[in-house]
Each structure stands twice: as structure tokens, then as C-alpha cells.
């Protein structure tokens, strides 16, 4: 087994821009680390794909990130974490992985709520992963899960914190299944961008959780426990997509406030 070095980069991937909300949190929490980000825009949206297809995409992306010498891989997509986390652990036995589901579930289960809501893509909700993991940690918890497939495309088109997003969000969140919830989990890495709309909708009655900071903390803990924290960054972050479009670059700027230059990496067309 190859020995890892602290100077190696952190690999982060998603179907597209959503995972940049996680990358942003990681780069703020671990300021000396180099990040290699991959957005699989050829296959966006993962939320509408089968678990088998998502697993295949993830396998190829992780191979790419490991070829780029990443010391840890963050699956910054709930749909991918739900479908592919276990298979990736089995396939890449010696690789450190962080998914976005477990840190969020652990954070929420610690609070001792009675009733929570979960909103996410079809792939995530239909996998049942949140309900199952939350109930493993807190057996009596009531979990109301709703697919909200319009939200990720709406956000990517730049509709958030305005009239359009307020109307769509209101439509989803006024579902009677959410009556009386104490907390709502934003189980898609796109949704932190509409957190304010969601908070406004509930007028402070419901606590809103997302995976950004808890995942960044988990990356920190995993690296620290293996002495793999970098103390001096030498390279700028690198951002790759499998299919480049200028509109994607525009959307990426909404998700990642820092300096960003996106390059196309044709891992699907050139083999690797």
C-alpha cells in the first residue's frame, strides 16, 4: 500500500456545481490544502439517474482523482453518496473517503429532535439512506422525506433568493408531511444556496441543516488523525468538468465565491 503524504491534494467531486458549496467549506476550514474538484457535467443531473449508472460514473471519477494523487476523496453529492459510497469503499480499499450523508445525519441525530424533514433529489430519497441512517442512530425519530427535483436545476439557472425560487420552495415545503417538524435537512449539495429562502419560509420555527461545514470538519478530523494535514499549500486549487460550457462557469461562480478557473477534462471520451 502506497504511503500518503500531507502535501497531496484533496479530491472533491459532484455531478456539477453543487459540490462547490462543500469545496468552499473545505477550503475555508482547511486553508493550507490544495483541492482538485471534478464536476461530471456530461452526466448531470445524477438525481435522475439509476444507482447503477451513478456507481459507474463515480468509479471513473475516483480513478481520475487518484491518478491526480489525491490523499482523500470527498463525495460531495448526496445522490452519489447514497448510490456509491459502499461500493467505492470496497473497490478502492486503501482510499480515504468522506461522504456527505453521514456527517449530516450524525449532526442531526445528536440534537435529539422528535420529527425532521428531508428534501433531496429522487436518487437520494428513493435510496432511503437518510431515513435508514437517522433511525439507526435515533430509532424513535419521525422522518418525512420529499423529492424536490425542480430545486437543483432552478438553482443552476441562477434562480435563488427571488420570486421564482420563493414560489417553488413554498410549493414543496407547504406539503402537509412537514407539519410540526423541528428540523429540515437540505440533503442536496445545491441547496445551501437557497437556505435563506427556506429559513424565511419557516420563519424561525424549524432549524435548517446542510452538509457543508460538517463535511469540512469531517475531512479535517480524518486527515488530522492520520497526520495528513498540510501546513503549507504549494499549488492553487484546480477545477475540472467533463463538459465545459460558459454558462456552467457562470453557475460555478455562484457556488464558489473564491478565485476559480475551470478546465475541461474529457475522462469519458479519452479513456484515462
Active site residues: 77, 188
Report residue 36 as a C-alpha cell: 482538485
Residues 88-147 that bind ligand DGL (CB under 6 A): 121, 124
Which stretch in 28-36, 183-191, 202-210, 261-269 sits in contact with ligand DGL by CB under 6 A?
Answer: 183-191
| Shortest Cβ 222–ligand DGL spacing (Å) | 20
Q: How many Cβ atoms are within 10 Å of 30's Cβ, its own excluded?
A: 20
Backbone φ, ψ for residue 144 (5° rounding) = -110, 115
Report the residue from 23, 35, 44, 262 that binds ligand DGL according to the rule CB under 6 A: 44
34 forms part of the interface with ligand DGL (CB under 6 A): no
| Shortest Cβ 80–ligand DGL spacing (Å) | 7
189 forms part of the interface with ligand DGL (CB under 6 A): yes
| Shortest Cβ 257–ligand DGL spacing (Å) | 18
Report the residue from 11, 39, 47, 117 that binds ligand DGL according to the rule CB under 6 A: 47
Q: Do 40 and 14 touch, CB atoms closer than 8 A?
A: yes
Counting Cβ atoms within 10 Å, is residue 15 exposed (0-12), middle (13-18) or buried (19+)? buried
Binding mask 201-230 for ligand DGL (x = CB under 6 A): ------------------------------
Backbone φ, ψ for residue 52 (5° rounding) = -60, -45
Residues 1-20 that bind ligand DGL (CB under 6 A): 14-16, 18
| Cβ neighbours for 97, distance < 8 A, ≥ 6 positions apart | 72, 73, 74, 75, 85, 88, 89
Residues 142-161 that bind ligand DGL (CB under 6 A): 152
Of residues 126 and 161, the one with the C-beta less far from ligand DGL: 126
**What sections of the chain are H helices per DSSP?**
20-29, 51-67, 78-91, 101-110, 122-127, 129-137, 151-156, 163-173, 195-202, 212-225, 246-255
Residues 53-82 that bind ligand DGL (CB under 6 A): 77-79
| Shortest Cβ 50–ligand DGL spacing (Å) | 13
Please work out the total of residues on this chain that contact ligand DGL, with binding judged by CB under 6 A. Answer: 17
Which stretch in 160-168, 184-192, 226-234, 236-244 sits in contact with ligand DGL by CB under 6 A?
Answer: 184-192
Q: Compute the distance between CA of residue 229 and CA of residue 250 in angstroms, rounded to an integer.
A: 32
Backbone φ, ψ for residue 31 (5° rounding) = -65, -20
- Nearest CA among 105, 58, 103 for reference residue 85: 58
Q: Which residues contact ligand DGL by CB under 6 A?
A: 14-16, 18, 44-47, 77-79, 121, 124, 152, 188-190
Amino acid at each position: 500500500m502506497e504511503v500518503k503524504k500531507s502535501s497531496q491534494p484533496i479530491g472533491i467531486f459532484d455531478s456539477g456545481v453543487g459540490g462547490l458549496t462543500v469545496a468552499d467549506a473545505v477550503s475555508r476550514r482547511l486553508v493550507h490544502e490544495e483541492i482538485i474538484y471534478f464536476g461530471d457535467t456530461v452526466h448531470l443531473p445524477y438525481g435522475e439517474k439509476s444507482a447503477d449508472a451513478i456507481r459507474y460514473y463515480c468509479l471513473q471519477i475516483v480513478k481520475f482523482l487518484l491518478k491526480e494523487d489525491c490523499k482523500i476523496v470527498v463525495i460531495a453529492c448526496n445522490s452519489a453518496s447514497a448510490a456509491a459510497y459502499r461500493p467505492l469503499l470496497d473497490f478502492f480499499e486503501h482510499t480515504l473517503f468522506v461522504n456527505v450523508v453521514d456527517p449530516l445525519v450524525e449532526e442531526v441525530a445528536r440534537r435529539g429532535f422528535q420529527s425532521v424533514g428531508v428534501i433531496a433529489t429522487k436518487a437520494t430519497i428513493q435510496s432511503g439512506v437518510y431515513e435508514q441512517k437517522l433511525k439507526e442512530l435515533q430509532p424513535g425519530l419521525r422522518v418525512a422525506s420529499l423529492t424536490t427535483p425542480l430545486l437543483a436545476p432552478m438553482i443552476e439557472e441562477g434562480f435563488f433568493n427571488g420570486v421564482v425560487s420563493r414560489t417553488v420552495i413554498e410549493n414543496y415545503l407547504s406539503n402537509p408531511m412537514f407539519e410540526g417538524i423541528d428540523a429540515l435537512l437540505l440533503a442536496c449539495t445545491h441547496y445551501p444556496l437557497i437556505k435563506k429562502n427556506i429559513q424565511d419560509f419557516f420563519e424561525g420555527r424549524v432549524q435548517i441543516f446542510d452538509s457543508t461545514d460538517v463535511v469540512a470538519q469531517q475531512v479535517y478530523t480524518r486527515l488530522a488523525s492520520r497526520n495528513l494535514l498540510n501546513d503549507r499549500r504549494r499549488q492553487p486549487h484546480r477545477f475540472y468538468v467533463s463538459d465545459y460550457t460558459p454558462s456552467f462557469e457562470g453557475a460555478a461562480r455562484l457556488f464558489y465565491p473564491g478565485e476559480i478557473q475551470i478546465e475541461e477534462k474529457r475522462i469519458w471520451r479519452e479513456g484515462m
